Amino acid sequence: MQIQKCKEIPLSILIVGAGHAAGQAAASLRQEKYEGEIIVFGDEPVLPYQRPPLSKAYLSGEQQQEKLLLRAATFYEKQNIEVKTSTSVTDINPQNSTIKIDDGEELSFEKLLIATGSRVRKINVSGSELDNVHYLRTIEDVDRIRSGMAKDKELVIVGGGYIGLEVAAIATQAGMKVRVLETEDRVLQRVTTPTMSNYYTRLHEKRGVRIHTQTRVIGFEGKSSVEKVICENDVFDADLVIVGIGIIPNSELAEKAGIACENGITVDERCQTSIPRIYAAGDCTNHPNPLLNRRLRLESVPNAMEQARVCAANMVGKDKTYSSIPWFWSDQYELKLQMVGFSSDGDSEVIRGDMDANQFSVFHVKENKVMAADSVNSPKDFMICKQLIGKEVDLDKLLDESVELKSLL
C-alpha cells in the first residue's frame, strides 16, 4: 500500500479589521502560544490605534499620532504578525474558508476573526455634504477637524453624547464659541440618569458652552461650507460643524457571508459566530452577557479588548467565556468620569461625595442592590464600585463617607 503524504497547509488565522479588538487579538494569540501565521487586514492606513484620545488629547494637540498606536511596528515584526494596512476585506467565503481582499486576492484561513468595529451614523439633512460638516471616528477625521478649529470661531456640535461633550470641552478650551444641539430633553440621555445629565450640562454651561436640548437639525445652509445650521425652531451661525449622533456596527460583510446578524454580528459567550471557526469581537458584535442576563452591543474599549482575549483563547482550543460588567470612561475638562453597569437598571440613586467639589460617585440601586455607578474624579472608589455591582448593600453606609467603601464589599 502506498501512503500518500498530504500537502502541508500552514495554519493561518486571519483578522478582518485593525482596531482595538484586532490588535489585542493578534497579541493575545501569540501570548496563547499560537505559532501559525497571523494576518490582520485594516482598511485604514495606520497600524491598530487607540480611538479614545481622538476626541480628547489628540484633538487638543496634546498627544502626537505615534502615541496613539496600540503597539509599535517593531512589536508586530518581532511577533511575526503581518498587518496589511489600507486593505479592505470584500468577501468572506465560509464554505471554502477563504476571504477576498480589495485587489482580488483570495486567502485561506484555518480560523477567522471579524473585528470590523463600527462607523458613524450620518445625518441625513440638506447641506450635510458641505465641506465643513465633520464626523469623528478616525485620525484623518480629527486632522481635518483640527485644521478648521480656531479661536473665536463658531463650532456647532450636533449630538450631546460623550463624543459631542468631549469635543465641546476641548474646543472651548481652545477658545472656540461652542454650541451643542441635542434632540432629546437632556444631554447623555442614552447613557445616564438626569442627575448626571444635569451635572454635565451645568459643568459645560459654566465654561461657556451653549447647550440646546429638544433641538433638531433640519438642514445646513452655505455656499461651499455651512454658514447656518437650520433647526426646527432656530437658526445658528457656524464656521465648523461636528456631528456625533451615534454609530452603526459594521456587520454587512458577515451578513453577506451568511453569518447570523441582528443589531451586530451575533456571537455566543465564547465569541463564536453562527459559523464554527469564525469568531467576532468588539463594537461589531451582539453578545450575551451572563452577568446581566441579556444580549448587548457595546461601544467600548474594555469590551473590545476582553472579547479579543476570549476569541484568542478559544481559537487556540481553550474554552473561555466572556462575562464582564460593561464599563466606560469619558474625559471632559479636568474631570474623569468612569461608569460601570447600566444606570437604567437602577430605580433610585445614592450620591456619595461632593458634586460641587467635582469628586463623587452616583450609585444606581434597586432593592438595595448596586446596579451601576458613575464616578467623577474618584478612581480609587471606582475600583470598588466595579466590585459592588450586583451586591446588596446598606444604603445608609453607602451614603456615609466616613464608612470606607471597601468595607461594603
Ligand X SMILES: Cc1cc2nc3c(=O)[nH]c(=O)nc-3n(C[C@H](O)[C@H](O)[C@H](O)COP(=O)(O)OP(=O)(O)OC[C@H]3O[C@@H](n4cnc5c(N)ncnc54)[C@H](O)[C@@H]3O)c2cc1C
Strands 111-114 and 12-16: parallel
Residues whose CB is less than 8 angstroms from the CB of residue 232 and which lie 6 or more positions away in sequence, other chains included: 215, 216, 218
Applying CB under 6 A, the span of 48-56, 145-153, 265-273, 340-348 interacting with ligand X comes to 48-56
Asked whether the beta carbons of 372 and 391 are under 8 A apart, the reply is no
Asked whether the beta carbons of 68 and 56 are under 8 A apart, the reply is no
Report, in Å, the least distance between residue 104 CB and ligand X. 14
Q: CA-to-CA distance for 147 and 227, rounded, in angstroms? A: 17
Return the residues of window 256-285 that contact ligand X according to CB under 6 A. 282-283
Cβ distance to ligand X smaller for residue 87 or 365: 87
> 3-state DSSP call for residue 383?
helix
Interface pick for ligand X out of 13, 15, 16, 398 (rule CB under 6 A): 16
Applying CB under 6 A, the span of 92-100, 152-160, 186-194, 325-333 interacting with ligand X comes to 325-333
Interface pick for ligand X out of 14, 18, 229, 388 (rule CB under 6 A): 18
Interface pick for ligand X out of 32, 43, 110, 269 (rule CB under 6 A): 43
Cβ distance to ligand X smaller for residue 90 or 96: 90
Interface pick for ligand X out of 13, 28, 44, 389 (rule CB under 6 A): 44
> 3-state DSSP call for residue 287?
strand
Q: CA-to-CA distance for 38 and 10, rounded, in angstroms? A: 11
Applying CB under 6 A, the span of 41-49, 180-188, 201-209, 343-351 interacting with ligand X comes to 41-49
CA-derived radius of gyration, the chain = 23
306 near ligand X, judged by CB under 6 A: no
Q: How many residues of this chain interact with ligand X, rule: CB under 6 A?
A: 36
Asked whether the beta carbons of 331 and 375 are under 8 A apart, the reply is no
162-173 helix and 194-206 helix, angle to the nearest 10 degrees? 20
- 187 exposed, middle or buried (CB, 10 Å; 0-12, 13-18, 19+)? buried
Report, in Å, the least distance between residue 232 CB and ligand X. 27
Applying CB under 6 A, the span of 2-10, 35-43, 183-191, 201-209 interacting with ligand X comes to 35-43
Cβ distance to ligand X smaller for residue 167 or 313: 167
Report, in Å, the least distance between residue 258 CB and ligand X. 16
The distance of Cα 347 from the centroid of its chain, to the nearest Å, equals: 26
Site string for ligand X, 81-120 (x = CB under 6 A): -------xx-------------------------xxxx--
> 3-state DSSP call for residue 308?
helix
Cβ distance to ligand X smaller for residue 215 or 251: 251
178: amino acid identity, one letter? V
Grid cell digits, residue 225:
461650507
Site string for ligand X, 326-345 (x = CB under 6 A): --xxx---------------
Applying CB under 6 A, the span of 44-52, 121-129, 153-161, 194-202 interacting with ligand X comes to 44-52
Cα angle at 381 between 335 and 204, to 5 degrees?
A: 20
Asked whether the beta carbons of 42 and 140 are under 8 A apart, the reply is no
Applying CB under 6 A, the span of 19-27, 266-274, 310-318, 356-364 interacting with ligand X comes to 19-27
- Which residues of the shown chain bind ligand X in the complex (CB under 6 A)? 16-22, 41-44, 51-52, 54-55, 88-89, 115-118, 136-137, 163, 250, 253, 282-283, 299-302, 304, 328-330
